[in-house]
Structure 1
Amino acid sequence: MTQRYAVVLAAGQGSRMKSKLYKVLHPVAGKPMVGHVIEQVEATGASKIVTIVGFGAEKVKDYLGDRTNYAVQEEQLGTGHAVIQAETHLKNKDGITLVICGDTPLLSAETLNNLFDYHQKKGAKATILTAHAQDPTGYGRVIRNEENYVEKIVEQKDANDTEKLVQEVNTGTYCFDNKLLFETLSQVGNENSQGEYYLPDVIEILKNQNEIVDAYIMTSENEGMGVNDRVALAEASRLMRRRINTMHMQNGVTLIDPMTTYIDSDVTIGSDTIIEPNVTLKGKTIIGEDCFVGAHSEIVNGTIGDGVRVTNSSIKDSVMEKDSNIGPYSHLRPNSHIGESVHIGNFVEIKNATIGKTSKVGHLTYVGDADLGENINIGCGTIFVNYDGKNKFRTTVGNNVFIGCNANLIAPLTIEENVYIAAGSTITKDVPTQAMAIARARQENKLEYYNKLPH
């Protein structure tokens, strides 16, 4: 098989984003744009990927890590100048090199594979990925001759009035014969309005050398869109989420209103799960089969087992095992683990805690830094008091414990199994098995007290 390589152009500062964040690191559906690009390039089987970085290089390297090689473009002198920075990695190698921009997050591996295959089938030395645009403003125009062969690419700012009417546009993605690409780049000049070295000029040089240059027209205009400002970022995000939502629905997930359901690209959802409107699923969330996620819920990096019910609640970096339920208006903070068939009711906050199966935390309760066993009942208004103003402490509760309403459990504390905690108690000492703990002032009634007050 012919070797495949890729050069990802990610050196532009992106001044039109008006942001302190490096352009290709702006997220689309929960993932930086360049992350989408690298992921799709990897799926084509490219044996070496070289990412061209410049402004913000270290942040891009921190994000991508060793998934790619790097070359630095010190000065922003155009796309041709950017690609030639990869010469030390790719020069003299036999194969096909894909050149792709790091701000084109919607391009799919399927389209890129089609481009590779078309390029090889046609025996071309260069193949342009093009699209027919309803409004081609801002894009380079693909100019064809009378025989419909590609003649050249003209940038918007250098196009004449006739060329500006052309609707076939250059998406900025190409396949090249690798050796010929780097041989030809040395011939590219900068005699244009911007004084830059344009990669598309390679096309015209190859044509003049009677090499085969072709264009592969993809079916979706939107897929090739580049993101240069916040308006385009919002549109790319909308299109990506529509693609993601469609995929989940085709896999057997019910989205009551896909237009108001926001699912990141790395989320996994099992079949026969129902998602209500205004739900946000972020990060690497995993949701099992036969679940229900109610309106206005947010799950971030959550792991949700089969048959779980989430009603208008927030879950972050936590686990809910099968057949458990939560909400409405409850919150799982990081490192919470909710066991099988556990009930978490309304207005409950849980943080860094484990709750064993079939336990119940009904309502208006805070459980922080605690390890709870099975079949525990926690009454309304219970507080696990875990913080003394400086340090956090843990509470351990055994199986089959009943905790009455408005109890305060002052950590560090161990409550053994088969224990009752009386309502209204403030527990500061460990409670042994089989005991009932009562820690509240004895009631005293002051008779005739009402009559002693002025009225």
Structure 2
Amino acid sequence: MTDSRLAIVVLAAGQGTRMKSSRPKVLHDLAGVPLLGHVLATARELSAAHVVTVVRHERDLVAAAVAEFLPEAHVVDQDDIPGTGRAVEVALAALPDDFDGDVVVISGDVPLLDADTIAGLLEAHRRATAAATLLSAIVDDATGYGRIVRDADGALLRIVEHGDASDEERAIAEVNSGTYVFTAASLRAQLPQLATHNAQGERYLTDVVGLLHEAGEAVEAVPARDAWVVEGINDRVQLARAAARLNAMIVRGWQLAGVTVHDPGSTWIDLRATLAEDVELLPNTHISGATTIARGARIGPDTTLLDCEVGEDAVVKRTDATLAVIGKNATVGPFAYLRPGTELGEGGKIGTYVETKNAKIGAGSKVPHLSYIGDATIGEGTNIGAGAITANYDGVNKHPTTIGSHVHTGTHNSFVAPVTIGDDATVGAGTVVRRDVPPGALAVSVAQLKFVEGWTARHQAAAQTAADAQD
């Protein structure tokens, strides 16, 4: 149910120079979702009447991410005036003139902040009828954070940024998380008063708290239950730490849902993945993207599945697969490489050192080992011998290979596409198939076997004579 008195402002304008990346900081991935995607998902859970995202650096890329993860959000551009205060000011101008509710401000680089924490902050704000309520945290190392300055009675006075803090203020362990709730009227009244008399020369949103206090309005700071919830991502070290924490929570959630994870420390599961009960994940397994795994499937070890679909009781080990469908009771690996468009039918097999691409392999069919099957369709109950290659590329275009049902092919066959092998056909070992094979036929292209009698003795004698001559 939409809260008509709630607006959310997401700050996503910064460059994030400490990431040392050509990619905007808020678009770096965490569990398969950009940092900003996590924040927008939280905003959606709060059911606000208005969500405004402020963008600037790589504006079009960030705006595209907003459109993907929260299409109803409004995107506004920050101008050349720097600072979070200015960012919120342009966001506020995008709200309806008659909006008089509460404005939640969150950062696009704080991905682990959950909706329940923000809802609790909003509840405390409304209960206290405060003009502003901010979320704080108690941390061991406050370097870089704005400090929460309180009076002798514990009441919030102001926030001082690290660069502007005195030595005494820098000793404060309570820090500002960058998450706020303001009444819209108070925010509109104080934002124009912001100055740039600070170390960065920016209009700080944090200064609004001090201005409201000086104006005699109620301001509150509520500590978060866990400091890690409000940790921002500023560099790759912090990104890795957040990824490990989130993955541990994801893995634990699936374990409690009935998934066996042999080694949680080496198992990574993205947020969009879906696993059924009795799935078994062996060590060093990565379940990425929107992969779905059905009941009883056994995955790993040393396996990566990206946007794949795995059927019931399938076994996939030491395999790299992307955009592949693996049927019920099928087996894949070890050391298989499934490229996009691979579909393996029920009970089928893709074996050791097999690469497939845009290949549909029917129920019960097997490609056991040492083969490349690309742009191909294989029927049911067919066995492909070792070393088979579908020669699908003529240097200009890709061509299809069609192999029917109940076909048996020998070792080291090459299928020069476009070519069709009929049902129940047999292809002899070493055959290069350049023409269609009729159903039920035997195709062979092996040269006649010849013998040269006495060749070994003559060869050895010639070799010995040459060696004696060198001596």
| 1:451 Cα deviation after fit | 5.1
The alignment's TM-score, normalised by the length of structure 1, stands at: 0.96
Aligned counterpart, 1:99:
105
Q: 2:93 aligns with which of 88, 92, 115?
A: 88
Partner of 2:57: 55
Q: Once the two structures are superposed, what CA deviation does each residue of 1:127-155 show, in whole Å capped at 9, x if it has no partner? A: 10111112222111112223322222111
Task: Look up the match of 1:44.
Answer: 46
Query: d(CA) in 2 for partners of 1:185 and 1:338?
Result: 60
Aligned with 1:367 (options 364, 370, 373): 373
Question: Is the CA contact (8 Å cut-off) linking 1:17 and 1:230 kept in structure 2?
Answer: yes
Residues in 1 aligned to 2:351 and 2:42: alpha-carbon distance in whole angstroms: 42
1:72 to 74, 77, 83: 77
2:4–2:48 Cα contact (<8 Å) kept: no
Q: Please tell me the residue identity of whatever aligns with 1:85.
A: V
Bigger CA drift: 170-179 or 264-273?
Answer: 264-273
SS in 2 for 1:369: strand
Residue in 1 that maps onto 2:362: 356
Could you tell me how far apart the structure 2 residues matched to 1:123 and 1:14 are?
Answer: 35
Q: Please, which runs of 5 or more residues in structure 2 have no aligned partner? A: 464-471
Give the distance between the partners of 1:96 and 1:132, measured in 2 at CA. Answer: 25
The CA deviation at 1:378 is: 0.9
User: Equivalents in 1 of 2:99, 2:84: separation in Å?
Assistant: 21
| CA offset digits 1:96-140 (Å, max 9, x no partner) | 211111111111122222222222233222110111112222111
Pairwise CA distance, 1:2:
4.5
Task: Find the residue that maps to 1:176 and give its secondary structure.
Answer: strand
Give the Cα–Cα distance (whole angstroms) in 1 for the partners of residues 191 and 98 of structure 2. 13
Secondary structure at the counterpart of residue 119 of structure 1: helix
Segment drifting more, 269-278 vs 169-178: 269-278
* Per-residue deviation, 1:161: 2.5
RMSD: 1.7
8 Å Cα contact 2:259/2:279 also seen in 1: yes
Matches within 5 A, 1:185-196: 185-196=191-202
Q: Does 1:327 align with 2:333?
A: yes
Deviations 1:388-432 (A, max 9, x none): 122111011111111111111111011121111112211111112
SS state at 1:392 partner: coil
The structure 2 residue matched to 1:303, chosen from 309, 315, 321, is: 309
The CA deviation string for residues 313-371 of structure 1, in whole angstroms up to 9 with x for no partner, is 10011111221110100110111111111111111111101011111111111111001
Q: Answer yes or no: is the 8 Å Cα contact 2:4–2:49 preserved in 1.
A: no
Query: Partners in 1 of 2:389 and 2:225 — Cα distance?
Result: 59
- Which whole-Å deviations, capped at 9, do the CAs of 1:52-74 have from their partners, x for residues lacking one? 11121111112222342111112
Q: Which residue is equivalent to 1:18?
A: 20
Does the 8 Å CA contact 2:322/2:339 hold for their aligned counterparts? Answer: yes
Q: Which residue of 2 aligns with 1:312?
A: 318
AA paired with 2:385? G
The question of whether the paired residues in 2 share the 8 Å contact of 1:92 and 1:179 is answered with no
What is the aligned partner in structure 1 of residue 466 from structure 2? Answer: none
| SS of alignment partner, residue 94 of structure 2 | helix
**d(CA) in 1 for partners of 2:441, 2:61:** 57
Q: Tell me, what secondary structure is at the counterpart of 1:236?
A: helix
TM score, norm. by length of structure 2: 0.92
The residue type paired with residue 221 of structure 1 is A
Separation in 1, partners of 2:324, 2:445: 33
Q: Cα deviation per residue 1:224-271 (whole Å; 9 max; x = unaligned)?
A: 111112222222222222222222222222221211112222222222
Cα shift at 1:273: 1.3
* Matched-pair contact (CA < 8 Å) for 1:142–1:150: yes
Secondary structure at the counterpart of residue 351 of structure 1 = strand
Counterpart-to-counterpart distance in 2, 1:176 and 1:374: 65
Q: Is the 8 A contact 1:141 1:166 kept in 2?
A: yes
Q: Which moved more, 1:97-106 or 1:20-29?
A: 20-29
Q: Specify the alignment match of 1:232 in structure 2.
A: 238
CA distance in 2, matches of 1:55, 1:107: 23
8 Å contact 2:284–2:302 — kept in the other structure? Answer: yes
Letter in 1 for 2:334: P
How many pairs were matched up?
Answer: 455
- How many Å separate the matches in 1 of 2:356 and 2:180? 51
Quick check: 1:259 aligned with 2:261? no
Q: CA deviation at 1:212?
A: 2.3
Unaligned 5+ segments in structure 1 are none
SS in 2 for 1:281: strand
Report deviation, 1:452: 5.0
Q: Secondary structure at the match of 1:379?
A: coil
1:392 aligns with 2:414: no
Q: Which moved more, 1:399-408 or 1:175-184?
A: 175-184
Secondary structure of 1:363's partner? strand
